[in-house]
């Protein structure tokens, strides 16, 4: 974290915001500068090097959004954290470079959102970084730029633990690997794979940190049709499918066939409940301090029919009852589900309902259908609004997004 984290720059066209912020931000202990002038903003970044820069693209309007490009080089040279508030496409600028230092907030700017975001940066928290949110197959292309085309990969960053924690190794893990390599640090950690379907393992051979002898990894996966974790990965990298084998990895590699009951690791525990999916598929539950995250990207929730609640649904509600955050399969619209019944995925409405029934605090819907365009997902996003009162936050997963959970003392 930057030493200048308490220096904050807000670029917002409404000058009244500065006055309204003055009272609200008193307890934050920050030095907040508000400007609507992009030249002033650029000068300020150069001279004061603020640790956090917030830009409200909607308030700047179309002209401001393109003008903001002029800020780009200053921002990235300053190594500041850069948070962009934007809503839908009119506030979204394709030409902002793809970098994990840019955090997109798919929401309109408000004083409350701003204060909440500043607080989350200032205190230790658990970060959930979404590297791949697409289901079934990778889907690059101009119609998928906003939500992303890479398949399943989620990184959990604990504030007091430098070990890597990753769920799934879909194509999204390639970008994570590159970022880790660029850091120049030795890397150690664990990758928990839910199951061996392509969209959860296809990035595995392309994770560059496996090819450095300085690194050390454990790969975890439940038994797949009697195959142990190591056998599955050897098969994936057998010569029919890939030019090198797992024997070519230079890192120290350990393969763990994961069991369902709770395992204790470095500052966190992991257990899983088997999903309703084609083979043994883990719905992983990670506990750290007093925070619980459940990751269930492939799980078919069958609709309740004639008031009969399936045993699976009851078990799953129990499993979810202590979850602060659930990241769940929401591949289809409910109207599309009947023709996809038995394919192992859920209508997002079912995920919302079971999460609300179980008292889950925050919900991220993921594993987007490869045929869902940004337009489709923006439409779904609007429909989520009707469920907002059930959750502290409810959103569609978007590649590159960083979600934060405050890690309060237990």
Q: Which of residues 363-402 bind Zn ion (CB under 5 A)?
A: none
Q: Rounded to an integer, what distance in angstroms lies between the CA atom of residue 244 and that of residue 241?
A: 9
Q: Which of residues 332-351 bind Zn ion (CB under 5 A)?
A: none
Spatial contact of 147 and 374, defined as CB atoms under 8 Å apart: yes
How many residues at the interface with Zn ion, by CB under 5 A? 4
Spatial contact of 202 and 153, defined as CB atoms under 8 Å apart: no
Q: Which residue has the tokens 């090198």?
A: 244
Q: Which of residues 133-162 bind Zn ion (CB under 5 A)?
A: 135
Q: Tell the burial category of 408 from Cβ atoms under 10 Å away from its Cβ (0-12, 13-18, 19+).
A: exposed
Which residue's CB is nearer to Zn ion, number 58 or number 199?
199
**Can you name the residues that pair with 53 across neighbouring β-strands?**
9, 82
Rounded least distance, CB 220 to Zn ion, Å:
17
Rounded least distance, CB 137 to Zn ion, Å:
9
Q: Rounded to an integer, what distance in angstroms lies between the CA atom of residue 16 and that of residue 338?
A: 51
Verify binding: residue 168, Zn ion, rule CB under 5 A: no
Verify binding: residue 298, Zn ion, rule CB under 5 A: yes
Spatial contact of 283 and 358, defined as CB atoms under 8 Å apart: no
Q: Which of residues 97-136 bind Zn ion (CB under 5 A)?
A: 135
C-alpha separations of 132 from 29, 247, 363, 377 in Å: 36, 26, 17, 15
Stretch that binds Zn ion, among 109-117, 196-204, 218-226, 334-342 (CB under 5 A): 196-204
DSSP 37: -
Q: Rounded to an integer, what distance in angstroms lies between the CA atom of residue 245 and that of residue 26?
A: 57
Stretch that binds Zn ion, among 121-129, 156-164, 198-206, 265-273 (CB under 5 A): 198-206
Q: Mask of contacts with Zn ion, 225-264, x by CB under 5 A? A: ----------------------------------------
DSSP-derived 3-state class of residue 182: helix
Q: What is the CA radius of gyration of the chain?
A: 22
Which residue's CB is nearer to Zn ion, number 57 or number 151?
151
Which residue's CB is nearer to Zn ion, number 58 or number 298?
298
Rounded least distance, CB 60 to Zn ion, Å:
38
Rounded least distance, CB 200 to Zn ion, Å:
6
| Residue 235: other Cβ atoms inside 10 A | 15
Which residue's CB is nearer to Zn ion, number 8 or number 193?
193
Rounded least distance, CB 235 to Zn ion, Å:
16
Which residue's CB is nearer to Zn ion, number 49 or number 279?
279
Q: Rounded to an integer, what distance in angstroms lies between the CA atom of residue 375 and that of residue 230?
A: 40
Q: Where are the beta strands (DSSP E) in 163-258?
A: 164-167, 188-192, 216-221, 252-257
Question: Two tokens at 243?
Answer: 């030019």
Which residue's CB is nearer to Zn ion, number 207 or number 249?
207
Stretch that binds Zn ion, among 37-45, 79-87, 93-101, 197-205 (CB under 5 A): 197-205
Verify binding: residue 197, Zn ion, rule CB under 5 A: yes
Spatial contact of 355 and 320, defined as CB atoms under 8 Å apart: yes
Which residue's CB is nearer to Zn ion, number 215 or number 299?
299
**Can you name the residues that pair with 332 across neighbouring β-strands?**
347
Which residue's CB is nearer to Zn ion, number 282 or number 323?
282
Question: Two tokens at 347?
Answer: 């209508």
Give the CB-nearest residue to Zn ion.
Answer: 197
Which residue's CB is nearer to Zn ion, number 56 or number 199?
199
DSSP 15: T
Rounded least distance, CB 399 to Zn ion, Å:
15
Rounded least distance, CB 291 to Zn ion, Å:
25
Which residue's CB is nearer to Zn ion, number 125 or number 199?
199
- Region for residue 324 given its phi and psi (left: phi exceeds 0; alpha: psi -120 to 50; beta: otherwise): alpha
C-alpha separations of 272 from 21, 220, 344 in Å: 44, 12, 17
Stretch that binds Zn ion, among 31-39, 161-169, 194-202, 255-263 (CB under 5 A): 194-202
Which residue's CB is nearer to Zn ion, number 68 or number 347?
347
Rounded least distance, CB 340 to Zn ion, Å:
13
Stretch that binds Zn ion, among 192-200, 208-216, 318-326, 396-404 (CB under 5 A): 192-200
Rounded least distance, CB 279 to Zn ion, Å:
8
Q: Which residues bind Zn ion (CB under 5 A)?
A: 135, 197, 199, 298
């Amino acid at each position: 974290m930057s030493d200048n984290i308490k220096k904050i720059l807000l670029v917002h066209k409404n000058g009244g915001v500065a006055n309204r912020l003055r009272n609200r931000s008193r307890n934050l202990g920050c030095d907040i500068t508000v400007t609507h002038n992009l030249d002033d903003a650029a000068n300020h970044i150069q001279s004061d090097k603020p640790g956090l820069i917030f830009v409200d693209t909607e308030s700047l309007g179309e002209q401001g959004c393109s003008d903001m490009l002029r800020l780009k080089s200053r921002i990235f040279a300053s190594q500041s954290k850069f948070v962009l508030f934007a809503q839908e496409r009119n506030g979204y600028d394709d030409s902002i470079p793809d970098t994990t230092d840019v955090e997109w907030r798919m929401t309109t700017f408000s004083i409350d959102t701003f204060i909440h975001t500043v607080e989350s940066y200032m205190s230790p928290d658990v970060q959930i970084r979404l590297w791949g949110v697409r289901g079934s197959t990778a889907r690059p292309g101009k119609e998928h730029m906003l939500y992303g085309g890479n398949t399943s990969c989620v990184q959990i960053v604990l504030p007091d633990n430098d070990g890597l924690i990753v769920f799934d190794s879909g194509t999204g893990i390639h970008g994570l690997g590159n970022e880790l390599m660029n850091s120049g640090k030795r890397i150690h950690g664990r990758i928990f794979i839910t199951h061996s379907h392509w969209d959860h393992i296809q990035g595995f051979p392309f994770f560059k940190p496996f090819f450095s002898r300085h690194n050390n990894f454990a790969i975890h996966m439940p038994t797949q049709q009697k195959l142990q974790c190591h056998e599955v990965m050897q098969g994936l990298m057998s010569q029919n499918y890939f030019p090198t084998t797992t024997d070519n990895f230079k890192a120290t590699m350990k393969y763990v066939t994961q069991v369902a009951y709770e395992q204790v690791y470095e500052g966190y525990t992991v257990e899983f409940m088997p999903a309703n999916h084609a083979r043994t598929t883990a719905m992983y539950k990670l506990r750290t301090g007093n925070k619980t995250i459940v990751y269930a990207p492939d799980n078919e929730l069958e609709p309740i029919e004639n008031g009969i609640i399936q045993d699976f649904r009851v078990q799953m509600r129990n499993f979810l009852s202590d979850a602060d955050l659930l990241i769940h399969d929401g591949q289809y619209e409910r109207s599309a589900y009947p023709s996809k019944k038995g394919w192992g995925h859920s209508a997002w409405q079912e995920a919302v309902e079971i999460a609300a029934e179980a008292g889950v605090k925050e919900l991220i819907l993921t594993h987007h259908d490869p045929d869902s365009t940004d337009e489709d997902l923006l439409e779904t996003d609007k429909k989520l609004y009707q469920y907002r009162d059930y959750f502290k936050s409810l959103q569609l997963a978007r590649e590159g997004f960083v979600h934060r959970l405050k890690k309060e003392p237990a």
